[in-house]
Amino acid sequence: MIIKNNNTFHLMGRNVSYIMAVDECGNLLHVHYGKKLADRDYSEIRKNRSVWAAYDEDDETLEMSAQEYPSYGHLDLKAPAYSVVNGSGNSIAQLKYKGYEIRNGYAPALKGMPSLFVGDKSAVTIELTLEDKIAGIRAVLSYTVFDEYDIIARSVEIINMSDTDIEVERAYSACLDMGAGDYDLIHFSGGWAREREYFRTPVTQGTRTDISNERGGSGHVINPFIMLAARNADENEGSVYGLTLVYSGNHSSTVECDQYGSIRVMQGINPFMFGAKLKPGEGFQTPQSVLSYSDKGIGGVSRALHDVFGNNLCRSKWQHKDRPVLINNWEATYFDFTEEKLIQIAKRAKEAGIELFVLDDGWFGKRNDDFSGLGDWYENRAKLPSGISGLAKRINDIGMKFGLWIEPEMVNPDSDLYRAHPDWAISVPGRAPALSRNQLILDLSRDEVCDYIIKSICNILGSANIEYIKWDMNRPMTDMPYKGYNHKYTLGFYKIMDAITSAFPDILFEGCSGGGGRFDAGVLAYMPQIWTSDNSDAAARLKIQYSTSMGYPVSSISAHVTAVPNHQNGRVTSLKTRAETAYMGAFGYELDITQMSDADFETVKAQVARYKELRTLMRAGDFYRLQSPYETNYCGWETVSKDKSEAFVFSCRILSVANSRDRRVMLKGLDASASYIDTACGRIYGGDELMYIGLEPEYAREDFSSFSVLLKKL
Ligand code: GLA
């Protein structure tokens, strides 16, 4: 619901209020974002000044007031939300309120970019128009309230109202002037094979923290999702704000704390090397920033994001379907496979109950290692005598679905495509572009390049019964030829994704980028699951999946059981722990199943059956983190069905400790007054007992020992 009360705009979710007010000078001020308030006129509230300042009235208001979309060039000296070089060559502006429009049941579709859609949920949008007459710019601030989830999605359009060209140098999608308070910043940083580690640091006076990325894609190193948590907030309790950018290019989330301790948080496209020139009448649309607030701690924010991203972001048919258990040949064979070897793997996998066979890298062009072939999207008949369609048929005849790996945004210099179109790779005239993994990136800002990719990939997808695609992107972007290039590339990527996923709506698409290097809400709009990390070691995955779940639905977290010693870090963990860790997400195997002992094979069979029993619950339930691997020697999580009739609990003790007592696992989200039965042993517990006394753990006397329990309500 959105209510206008005099000069106050009040956006309400079920438990949340977001309030803005127009002051007497026409400034749009930020009044409140947080716990729900009653409908009143709050326009006076930001006039109470608790600090004496040496400026005159109006200037003081700017410095002390919380602003909704702050400008540059006035006596608010924090970083501005936007900067536009006007026809006079300066960037000074001051946006003043012009008008508003409220539209029920509506969420704007952003031109060329993914964004949340309404679907069958309720949503209401307010568009506030602000203008600076001297600079000749108009900004339309858009807010869509998804009241059921307490989610507010924001974006901005900046329009050139002048009669000269202007250049947008920065345009954040959202700004939150939170006032003075004691908050911690939570962000997710890592690298290849250790994506999205959890970091929590106090926000202190006089700092400006820029959680930003210039790697071209959203990146392994910094994820476009941050949280601001009240100092006393934890996983379960306290005020926490989440900001997620629905964007896959260079991004920035900034947190600034001024001399008064007032905090300004912004999120949007990274201003570094950004620029958008606008002719008179043209507009620039920012991506969407998804805001979530909960007083139920980090877990509350996560569950809201799981729901909104699970229901209102991805239009794939697979979003609400159970995902097939897959086997991928990458860690089984790498590039070294024959058609017969693949068939052997598929046959054995089928016997274990696995449903989808995925052929990874190495099936196309001259691709026997990573030095050649990218760009040549036709099958390598030397390796696959039956071709892709013949192989797909053979796999289908075994009784499995067939899936394929592709990396369409890339080209190897040693490829037919590059020899024919060397100018299609991103480069700057006179400079040799930097190679990474021996490959270059195709210039997705050009229509003919996008058209080639769409055509060549559609050719393959139409040529065989392909039911799954793993879409990879294996290098950072360098040699960007001009300011604003990265955004144009990102729009090209979305155009391609939109065309291909619309042409093949039945295919299950999985995103990938050197593991989890492009795990973002922009990708999730097209592909309901993403390969979370190339690191498939169970112990490493505990942390990676635990923190990834803070911002993204568990149904999007692709997780595989691989061989030991693990190929990335050499660790040995039990087959049980590997599978139980991977049950959390879209589950599969990535190992040579033909080489397994009979005993292990029987275990795999049982694991596959177990996952099939769990997968609807894991995909559609409410997810609770129980024990943090960042803070304890344990990692635990739980999924409870929306009707609380079943729950699956997982816990792993990371290192074995002699002569110690293990912590009980305190469950969450159950019906306290109901009884639940442990489906394995038949033991009956009260819901209250499970939540307030907890489960007795059942670890083995070894490192990385996990156990799991499926509970059903009686
Ligand atoms: C990336 C992916 C891997 C695999 C290889 C193939 O690294 O993350 O899963 O597909 O590419 O080259």
What are the tens digits of pLDDT across the range 222-278? Answer: 999 999 999 999 999 999 999 999 999 999 999 999 988 999 999 999 999 999 999
Q: CA angle, 674 as apex, 672 and 677 as ends, to 5°?
A: 115
Q: What letters, b where the CB count within 10 A reaches 16 and e where it falls short, cover 27-40?
A: bbbbbbbbebeeee
Please enumerate, as own/partner, the contacts of 15-22 that have beta carbons within 8 Å and a separation of 24 or more: 15/150, 15/294, 15/295, 16/150, 16/152, 16/293, 18/143, 18/145, 18/152, 18/291, 20/68, 20/128, 21/45, 21/46, 22/97
Ligand 1 centroid to residue 320 C-alpha, Å: 26
Please choose from 327, 335, 360, 439 the residue to mutate so as to test ligand 1's pocket, defined by most ligand atoms within 8 A of CB: 360
List residues near ligand 1 (CB under 6 A).
Answer: 330, 360-361, 405, 472, 474, 512, 514-515, 531, 534
Nearest-CA neighbor of 102 among 142, 51, 73, 64?
Answer: 142
Residue nearest to ligand 1 atom 12, measured at CA:
361
Q: Is the pLDDT of residue 303 over 80?
A: yes
pLDDT at 136: 96
Task: Name 428's Cβ contacts closer than 8 Å, sequence gap at least 6.
Answer: 479, 481
Q: Is the pLDDT of residue 693 over 70?
A: yes
Q: Considering the chain, what percentage of its residues have pLDDT values greater than 70?
A: 98
pLDDT band (50, 70, 90) for residue 29: very high
Ligand 1 centroid to residue 544 C-alpha, Å: 17
Q: Is the pLDDT of residue 44 over 80?
A: no
Closest ligand 1 atom to residue 534 Cα is 8
Q: Is the pLDDT of residue 54 over 70?
A: no
Please choose from 361, 368, 510, 533 the residue to mutate so as to test ligand 1's pocket, defined by most ligand atoms within 8 A of CB: 361
User: Is 555 in the same domain as 682?
Assistant: no
The domain boundary, picked from 291, 312, 333, lies at 312
Tokens (6 digits) for 157: 């359009």
Tokens (6 digits) for 328: 């991928």
- Verdict on whether the full-model pTM lies above 0.75: yes
- Give the separation between CA 471 and CA 531, rounded to whole angstroms: 10
Residue nearest to ligand 1 atom 6, measured at CA:
361
- Give the separation between CA 711 and CA 676, rounded to whole angstroms: 6
The domain boundary, picked from 618, 652, 683, lies at 618
Q: For 203-225, write each residue's pLDDT tens digit.
A: 999 999 999 999 999 999 999 99
- Are 154 and 128 in contact by the 8 Å Cβ rule? The answer is no
One-letter identity of residue 517: G
What CATH number is given to the structural domain containing 193? 2.70.98.60
**Region of 42 on the Ramachandran plot (φ > 0 left; ψ -120 to 50 alpha; else beta):** alpha
Residue nearest to ligand 1 atom 2, measured at CA:
514
Residue nearest to ligand 1 atom 1, measured at CA:
514
Please choose from 328, 331, 334, 405 the residue to mutate so as to test ligand 1's pocket, defined by most ligand atoms within 8 A of CB: 405
Which residue in the list 307, 414, 534, 622 is annotated as catalytic?
534
Tokens (6 digits) for 213: 């990325």
Ligand 1 centroid to residue 299 C-alpha, Å: 31
- Other Cβ atoms less than 10 A from the Cβ of 279: the count is 10
pLDDT band (50, 70, 90) for residue 47: low
> What rounded mean pLDDT belongs to the chain?
96
Ligand 1 centroid to residue 531 C-alpha, Å: 9
Q: For 80-95, write each residue's pLDDT tens digit.
A: 999 999 999 999 999 9
Q: CA angle, 280 as apex, 277 and 284 as ends, to 5°?
A: 45
User: Is 493 in the same domain as 602?
Assistant: yes
Residue nearest to ligand 1 atom 11, measured at CA:
514
The dihedrals phi and psi of 448, each to the nearest 5 degrees, come to -65, -30
pLDDT at 50: 47
The dihedrals phi and psi of 147, each to the nearest 5 degrees, come to -65, -35
User: Is 191 in the same domain as 62?
Assistant: yes
pLDDT band (50, 70, 90) for residue 62: confident
Ligand 1 centroid to residue 334 C-alpha, Å: 9
Tokens (6 digits) for 492: 């090209």
Ligand 1 centroid to residue 514 C-alpha, Å: 6
Weakest-pLDDT range from 72-76, 531-535, 663-667, 674-678: 72-76
Closest ligand 1 atom to residue 470 Cα is 10
What's the distance, Cα to Cα, between the start and end of the chain in Å?
38
Q: Half-sphere exposure (CA, 13 Å, Cβ side) for 368? A: 6
Q: For 123-178, write each residue's pLDDT tens digit.
A: 999 999 999 999 999 999 999 999 999 999 999 999 999 999 999 999 999 999 99
Please choose from 326, 327, 330 the residue to mutate so as to test ligand 1's pocket, defined by most ligand atoms within 8 A of CB: 330
Ligand 1 centroid to residue 99 C-alpha, Å: 50
Report the pLDDT averaged over residues 364-389: 97
Ligand 1 centroid to residue 570 C-alpha, Å: 18
Between β-strands 28-35 and 16-22, what pairing exists: parallel, antiparallel or unpaired?
antiparallel
Q: Is the pLDDT of residue 341 over 80?
A: yes
pLDDT at 46: 60
Tokens (6 digits) for 107: 């969420």
The domain boundary, picked from 260, 278, 312, lies at 312
One-letter identity of residue 5: N
User: Is 535 in the same domain as 663?
Assistant: no
CA 121 to each of CA 16, 105, 621: distance values in angstroms, whole numbers, following the listed order: 17, 8, 18
Ligand 1 centroid to residue 363 C-alpha, Å: 13
Is 498 considered catalytic here? no
- Give the separation between CA 192 and CA 345, rounded to whole angstroms: 28
What CATH number is given to the structural domain containing 386? 3.20.20.70
What CATH number is given to the structural domain containing 643? 2.60.40.1180
User: Is 639 in the same domain as 569?
Assistant: no
User: Is 278 in the same domain as 338?
Assistant: no
Closest ligand 1 atom to residue 360 Cα is 10
Report the pLDDT averaged over residues 100-119: 97
User: Is 586 in the same domain as 635?
Assistant: no
pLDDT at 250: 98
User: Is 554 in the same domain as 593?
Assistant: yes
- Are 55 and 63 in contact by the 8 Å Cβ rule? The answer is yes
- Are 22 and 28 in contact by the 8 Å Cβ rule? The answer is yes
Name the packing angle between helices 538-551 and 575-582 (round to 10°).
Answer: 10
pLDDT at 48: 46
pLDDT at 416: 98
pLDDT at 61: 61
Sheet holding 634-640, edge to edge: 622-627, 634-640, 646-653, 705-713, 675-678, 684-686
Q: 353: domain range? A: 317-618
One-letter identity of residue 654: I
Q: Which helix (H) or strand (E) holds 112?
A: none
The dihedrals phi and psi of 263, each to the nearest 5 degrees, come to -110, 130
Closest ligand 1 atom to residue 512 Cα is 8
Q: Is 51 exposed, middle or buried (0-12, 13-18, 19+ CB in 10 A)?
A: exposed
Residue nearest to ligand 1 atom 7, measured at CA:
514
Ligand 1 centroid to residue 251 C-alpha, Å: 24
- Are 552 and 305 in contact by the 8 Å Cβ rule? The answer is yes
Q: What letters, b where the CB count within 10 A reaches 16 and e where it falls short, cover 499-530?
A: bbbeebeebbbbbbbbbbbbbbbbbbbbbbbb
Report the pLDDT averaged over residues 686-697: 97
Ligand 1 centroid to residue 621 C-alpha, Å: 30
Q: For 434-456, write each residue's pLDDT tens digit.
A: 999 999 999 999 999 999 999 99
Q: Is the pLDDT of residue 51 over 80?
A: no
Q: Is the model more confident about 52 or about 600?
A: 600
Ligand 1 centroid to residue 706 C-alpha, Å: 28
Please choose from 404, 409, 470, 472 the residue to mutate so as to test ligand 1's pocket, defined by most ligand atoms within 8 A of CB: 472
One-letter identity of residue 414: D
User: Is 93 in the same domain as 224?
Assistant: yes
- Give the separation between CA 452 and CA 423, rounded to whole angstroms: 14
Number of domains in the chain: 3
User: Is 605 in the same domain as 662?
Assistant: no
Ligand 1 centroid to residue 639 C-alpha, Å: 29
Is 534 considered catalytic here? yes
Please choose from 337, 410, 471, 534 the residue to mutate so as to test ligand 1's pocket, defined by most ligand atoms within 8 A of CB: 534
Closest ligand 1 atom to residue 405 Cα is 10
Closest ligand 1 atom to residue 370 Cα is 12
Which residue in the list 177, 184, 443, 472 is annotated as catalytic?
472
User: Is 534 in the same domain as 665?
Assistant: no
User: Is 593 in the same domain as 668?
Assistant: no
